[in-house]
Structure 1
Amino acid sequence: MEQKYIFSAVAASMLLSSPLSAKEVTEQQVVTHYADVAHSVYFDSLATAKILNSRIEQFIAAPSEAGFKQVKQAWLNARVPYQQSEVFRFGNPVVDDWEGQLNAWPLDEGLIDYVAAGYQFEMGNEGASANIVANTELIIGNAKVDTGKITPQLIASLNELGGSEANVASGYHAIEFLLWGQDLNGTNSGAGERAYTDYVLGKECTNNNCDRRGQYLQATAQLLVQDLEWMEKQWSAQTKDNYRQTLLSEPSENGLRRMLFGMGSLSLGELAGERMKVALEAGSTEDEHDCFSDNTHNSHYYNEQGIYNVYTGSYTRIDGQKIAGPSIADLVKQKDAKAAEQIQQQFDASIAQVGKLVDSAENKGQHFDQLIASNNKAGQQLIQDTIQSLVEQTKAIEKSATIIGITRLNPDTADHQF
């Protein structure tokens, strides 16, 4: 099912690849539409998180193999809109200060639950083997933490326990680990293989503490919904005194800078750098984004789709509805039609290039963790070509900024050299 979702989105993006309407638009209209798109993306992220939460509740009430598959598919579906939201993170502090509780990675999974013997974790992390599921009390340094009752509030308080960023207790990746378990295949084929019986009560329970594991999974999903409810309201036109009002009260130039900085920073420092270059150069499957489920190709694709959405003022909602409106692409075309065509071509080339990672995984049987293998020269080259395409896309974003009069953009490189 997920594969169909991916390629319908690819098709949608290609339909939008021609320069948008030549009608005159204003900077303020573009920023307002940006806020509308952001709200739609977070609304869909919330909707799919609620479905995930519901599937988890149903599964925990009556664990089964079929129910477990439904929960996993609900998680995969929930990633589709959320990954398109990450373009709003950079440039909008309200998002950047918040998103760590939802999408932080990589994580020392031993904080949460059992792991295989000899698993690699961050050196010096006292919480790396805390195993909240198995323990009702933790001792971290001189601090004693009561984990007897697993609630959304407890999980939120345990994020970055002991000051370590690797102690990720909440969010999509904590849920992913609780559904798939560790991927112990290295750069070979295969994802995590957690059994549904890890949630069965009584004698059929595998790996102990099935009741607390179920409590943790439910509480984490509930926290995810609560967090997304808050962010959806921050972009809603029906809510007063929220971030949307703050954004739209600023000079439109500030809004455009936030948009362009967000696109450039996700394109360069985050997607090309942190999410591809780091894993490629280290040959590290631990630095793969959706590492437990082997969903990384989709995660990367929808990050790129989010960048494309902001530039073109477009978004395809989870119900198939297509949103389009005043965009940066329109502003660029009004200033320089020839340059606008060249820039659009680069965006089309980049989304097609990231789409090759999807094709590799879904049609050729080589997922991201196999592509980075030291003996897979063709796979490594595919990732390197994708990184380079994102670098070129970032140059196109910077050129767009110059054309419409936004100076000193300086997208975040995350300290990577390209």
Structure 2
Amino acid sequence: MKTWKFLPIMAIGVCMAMTSCSEDSKKEDVSPNPFAGFNTPDSGTATDDELKAAVATYVDDVVIPTYEDMYNKVTALNTAVQKLSTSSSDNDVANAADAWVAARKPWEKSEAFLYGPADLNKLDPSLDSWPLDKGGIDAILQSGNWEDAVGGDVNDDDDAPADAPQNLRGFHTAEYLLFEDGEAKKITDLDANKIGYLKAVVGRMSKDTELLLKGWTEGKNLENGAYKDAMKAPNGTYSISNIKQSVAMILNSDNGAEGIANEVGATKIGDPVDKWNSGDKEGGVLAVESWYSWNSLDDYTDNIYSIRNAYYGSLDGTVASASLCSIMKKVNPTLNDMVVKQIQETITAINDIPHPFRNNLGATTEVKNAQNQCVFLCSGLALVRAKLAGE
């Protein structure tokens, strides 16, 4: 999810995406952070060959298959949406809504690797900016002029207007058009303009998803070739000069594994809860990502699964023999066991928040626990990065 506003540091200790969570946790009360003061000595070291094998597994068995899955499911969504032009069936809208949910999963499971093509081609904001500009979307529905919104370039300026193109397309515009109160709309809710706009939005999503996949596999729309090659055989392209820098990219605190752990706690959970607790109840609900579909908590847990997949080197919860997890088991088995446990603790804590999130922003105990678990996961991933990438 790409947001377009300044995000305050959470009072309970969730740190900002551009900072080290382990450093911030020393300043904030996030006790009992299990990683605070971690000092168990290493029992081994990671060789460059081991790191290269782990990065290759990560690229070939996690990143590329995730984007292939997303491409296939966005293609299926596009097919389902195209059918609405000639449909009179509520079932067809329900099928399109189901296809949206299915396409959403691999996207959310890719948010631990929003660097590379997702960043260089501004595909994260193009696909997933939040909050969307509901007023702008409604105006477009009245005018029928959605060409600029769907085809326009991302405006990533700090002072970008609310109706910048990225806020008028992507997953959440499609969600707004397909869902109401967690359910698929009826075919009678969708007039010709809504269907036309929806088709254009999903068509753009298809193009963006193809760029994500082919940016990694072929270097499509990139200047220095396939991003997979830069990660697996670093030679200075895309500012990756050695295999430790590839590992650092995987775990980085901006748009890598640590970054999404922080974003889930500080932004996706934290923003709406902050508004709610300040007395802005309506603003709190409106700040919940994916609240039209009630998919929010699934989004957040899938984000943590994206971290697990990146760390394990697999998509099914098994630990690949060539993976960061397997290397850490040799380098520092205590830390590895703690990180593995923390990944699951974070997923469990998010799932403990009552569903749907939009209706339970006042579930203080569960919310604070989920946010703290995200902080702890940030801390553990920062320690792993320091040991494997020397940062």
Q: Match of 2:168, SS?
A: coil
Inter-partner Cα distance in structure 2 for 1:246 and 1:91: 10
Residue pair 2:116, 2:227 contacting (<8 A) in 1 also: no
Letter in 1 for 2:57: H
Equivalent residue number for residue 54 of structure 2: 30
What is the Cα deviation at residue 323 of structure 1?
Answer: 8.8
Inter-partner Cα distance in structure 2 for 1:220 and 1:350: 33
Map 1:389-408 → 2, pairs under 5 A: 389-407=373-391
TM-score, length basis structure 2: 0.75
Letter in 2 for 1:294: W
What is the Cα deviation at residue 311 of structure 1?
Answer: 1.1
Task: Let me know the Cα RMSD of the aligned residues.
Answer: 2.7
Among residues 58, 71, 80, which one is paired with 1:55 in the alignment? 80
CA shift in 2, pair 1:111/1:158, >3 Å = farther
Inter-partner Cα distance in structure 1 for 2:184 and 2:51: 50
Equivalent residue number for residue 134 of structure 1: 142
Equivalent residue number for residue 4 of structure 1: none
Letter in 1 for 2:308: Y
Letter in 1 for 2:160: G
Equivalent residue number for residue 12 of structure 2: none
Residue pair 1:88, 1:95 contacting (<8 A) in 2 also: no
Equivalent residue number for residue 195 of structure 1: 186
Equivalent residue number for residue 120 of structure 1: none
Inter-partner Cα distance in structure 1 for 2:321 and 2:199: 38
Equivalent residue number for residue 177 of structure 2: 178
Structure 1 segments unaligned to the other structure (5+ residues): 1-22, 114-130, 137-146, 182-189, 200-209, 362-366, 374-378, 408-418
Equivalent residue number for residue 278 of structure 1: 271
Inter-partner Cα distance in structure 1 for 2:202 and 2:57: 30
Inter-partner Cα distance in structure 2 for 1:59 and 1:310: 37
Q: Name the % identity.
A: 19
Letter in 1 for 2:250: M
Letter in 1 for 2:287: D
CA shift in 2, pair 1:173/1:344, >3 Å = same
CA shift in 2, pair 1:154/1:387, >3 Å = closer
Aligned length: 320
**Larger RCO: Structure 1 or Structure 2 (Cα < 8 Å, ≥ 6 residues apart)?**
2
What is the Cα deviation at residue 266 of structure 1?
Answer: 0.8
What is the Cα deviation at residue 60 of structure 1?
Answer: 2.2
Map 1:152-231 → 2, pairs under 5 A: 155-157=150-152, 163-165=160-162, 167=164, 168-181=167-180, 190-191=181-182, 194-199=185-190, 210-231=191-212
Letter in 1 for 2:272: A
What is the Cα deviation at residue 91 of structure 1?
Answer: 7.1
What is the Cα deviation at residue 313 of structure 1?
Answer: 1.1
Inter-partner Cα distance in structure 2 for 1:371 and 1:91: 35
Residues 81-100 of structure 1: CA deviation (Å, up to 9, x unaligned): 11001111157764673210
Letter in 2 for 1:315: L
What is the Cα deviation at residue 351 of structure 1?
Answer: 2.1
CA shift in 2, pair 1:154/1:263, >3 Å = closer
Residues 17-45 of structure 1: CA deviation (Å, up to 9, x unaligned): xxxxxx99611111122212111111101
TM-score, length basis structure 1: 0.70
Equivalent residue number for residue 300 of structure 1: 300
Inter-partner Cα distance in structure 1 for 2:76 and 2:319: 23
CA shift in 2, pair 1:44/1:134, >3 Å = same
CA shift in 2, pair 1:348/1:103, >3 Å = same
CA shift in 2, pair 1:346/1:243, >3 Å = same
Inter-partner Cα distance in structure 1 for 2:219 and 2:127: 24
Confirm whether residue 66 of structure 1 aligns to residue 65 of structure 2.
Answer: no
Residue pair 1:33, 1:325 contacting (<8 A) in 2 also: no
Residue pair 2:117, 2:211 contacting (<8 A) in 1 also: no
Letter in 1 for 2:171: Y
Inter-partner Cα distance in structure 2 for 1:356 and 1:96: 36
Equivalent residue number for residue 314 of structure 1: 314
Map 1:321-340 → 2, pairs under 5 A: 324=320, 326-340=322-336
Residue pair 1:101, 1:156 contacting (<8 A) in 2 also: no
338-347 or 211-220: bigger deviation: 338-347
Residue pair 1:101, 1:170 contacting (<8 A) in 2 also: yes
Q: Match of 2:217, SS?
A: coil
CA shift in 2, pair 1:65/1:224, >3 Å = same
Confirm whether residue 263 of structure 1 aligns to residue 257 of structure 2.
Answer: yes
Letter in 1 for 2:53: Q
Inter-partner Cα distance in structure 2 for 1:197 and 1:228: 30
CA shift in 2, pair 1:84/1:225, >3 Å = same
Structure 2 segments unaligned to the other structure (5+ residues): 1-45, 235-241, 277-283
CA shift in 2, pair 1:336/1:402, >3 Å = same
Inter-partner Cα distance in structure 2 for 1:231 and 1:158: 16
Inter-partner Cα distance in structure 1 for 2:118 and 2:169: 20
What is the Cα deviation at residue 275 of structure 1?
Answer: 0.5
220-229 or 163-172: bigger deviation: 163-172
What is the Cα deviation at residue 48 of structure 1?
Answer: 0.6
Inter-partner Cα distance in structure 2 for 1:82 and 1:53: 15
Among residues 105, 124, 127, which one is paired with 1:99 in the alignment? 124
